[in-house]
Chains A and B, each alone.
Chain A
């Protein structure tokens, strides 16, 4: 009985040692062939009949698991050594240390194909930069600190809130419905195939109005009052009014489509607009 206990204790010590060595190889990228797997497997087999409790059996299983990982690493090691890129690091290191700077550069340039890149100012960017400079307010004026205006607290009237666009004259849903009906009418009058170019619809008399119309149009599309058709190659966008609002939330994945409504684009569209 004494001798069995002694063997068990010896066996636990041996298996723990095997696990530690395997871990060291796994974690520190050491040569996996430092471990004699065959000899360790023999040891596992030798102590296996002594295990009676679950903890010892788990230790046995953990040892096998770590040995299996080492065998996997040995496989990878052999695979890498058989590739054309494998070189003995010590041999290469010795070679590199023996090279002079000139020799190293001579060797390197034969395998080096540097990227070609250009950095050059164009007439267009020069003109743009000049325009920016001309319009740039002098730094003294830009950084001038103005004392904050003293405003007496008081009650704002409805007209004032409307003017500041804090509240809208009409309810938002009403505006949305009006915009939808307008889109339907415009498509009936000037549209083709039941749709109208996006810019024809949003373009207003002023830039501010255009932005406001683009804002409302984005809600028309989101709430299913209209469908946006985009042709990236032709760079064309169309709006197609729906007969009734079609809510797509939950049915289909919705995507956000950013459309730039710049003042420059608005001017360009105004010029191109048919009179």
Chain B
């Protein structure tokens, strides 16, 4: 193996460890952490890792935590971005159970996210609760919303307005979701 190949093989391993293993409260790694460990050309290593993961139906995903999607990110914005490994394709409803969510909790999450998207990214908690109460027992509605907030799917401000948070941006293809709901 050439020296260059060996260097990248070692970087690939380090990137895999950083992105797969949860080390902080949030999974994945920040751009600056990757730069520190893998060097300035870390995006090249991540591209290689992404190619390797394709065969396993996984992918490297990046989201800008504070900002919305940025077309031409600056190095500072890339440093602050968070990188994850996510599923590349789709899972079947049966497989969804393996993720550790009950069907009604997952349905509640789907409804909440779709509703907030339709309201231009922000909806009063009360409206979302009313919507969920249609299908879920009343005592469960509040608990579920808190759970979605805890996992990073939603966030709430002091006026009890719900917004989509980092995990939704990382995991959910929002356009595809709306199109699928409307196509049903």
- List A residues at the B interface (Cβ < 8 Å): 80, 84-85, 87-89, 91-93, 95-97, 99, 101-120, 232-233
Given contacts A91-B182, A96-B115, A115-B170, contact A107 B177 (CB under 8 A): yes
- List B residues at the A interface (Cβ < 8 Å): 20-22, 27-28, 36, 39, 58-59, 61, 84-93, 95-96, 99, 103-104, 106-107, 109-111, 113-115, 117-120, 131, 134-135, 167, 170-178, 180-182, 184
Interface of B is mostly: helix
User: Across the interface, which residues of A come within 8 angstroms of B173, CB to CB?
Assistant: 111-113
User: Across the interface, which residues of A come within 8 angstroms of B110, CB to CB?
Assistant: 104-105, 107-108
Is B177's CB under 8 angstroms from A111's CB? yes
Given contacts A96-B111, A101-B135, contact A114 B171 (CB under 8 A): yes
User: Across the interface, which residues of B come within 8 angstroms of A92, CB to CB?
Assistant: 114-115, 118, 178, 181-182
Q: A95-B182, A108-B177 are in contact. List 8 more A-B contacts (CB 8 A).
A: A85-B174, A104-B107, A111-B172, A112-B90, A114-B99, A115-B84, A115-B86, A116-B87
Question: How far, in Å, is B109 (CB) from chain A's closest CB?
Answer: 7
| Closest chain A residue to B58, Cβ basis | A116
| Closest chain B residue to A103, Cβ basis | B184
Is B20's CB under 8 angstroms from A109's CB? no
Given contacts A99-B184, A114-B86, A116-B20, contact A108 B107 (CB under 8 A): yes
Is B131's CB under 8 angstroms from A112's CB? no
Given contacts A85-B117, A114-B86, A233-B39, contact A93 B131 (CB under 8 A): yes
Question: How far, in Å, is B44 (CB) from chain A's closest CB?
Answer: 15
C-alpha gap A9/B51 in the complex (Å): 74
User: Across the interface, which residues of B come within 8 angstroms of A84, CB to CB?
Assistant: 175
Is A89's CB under 8 angstroms from B118's CB? yes
User: Across the interface, which residues of A come within 8 angstroms of B174, CB to CB?
Assistant: 85, 111
Is B170's CB under 8 angstroms from A93's CB? no
C-alpha gap A262/B174 in the complex (Å): 48
User: Across the interface, which residues of A come within 8 angstroms of B175, CB to CB?
Assistant: 84-85
User: Across the interface, which residues of B come within 8 angstroms of A104, CB to CB?
Assistant: 106-107, 110-111
A-B contact pairs, 26 of them (CB 8 A): A92-B118, A95-B181, A95-B182, A96-B131, A97-B131, A99-B107, A102-B103, A103-B184, A105-B93, A105-B96, A107-B184, A108-B110, A109-B92, A110-B90, A111-B174, A111-B176, A112-B91, A113-B59, A113-B86, A113-B88, A114-B86, A115-B167, A115-B170, A117-B22, A119-B22, A232-B36
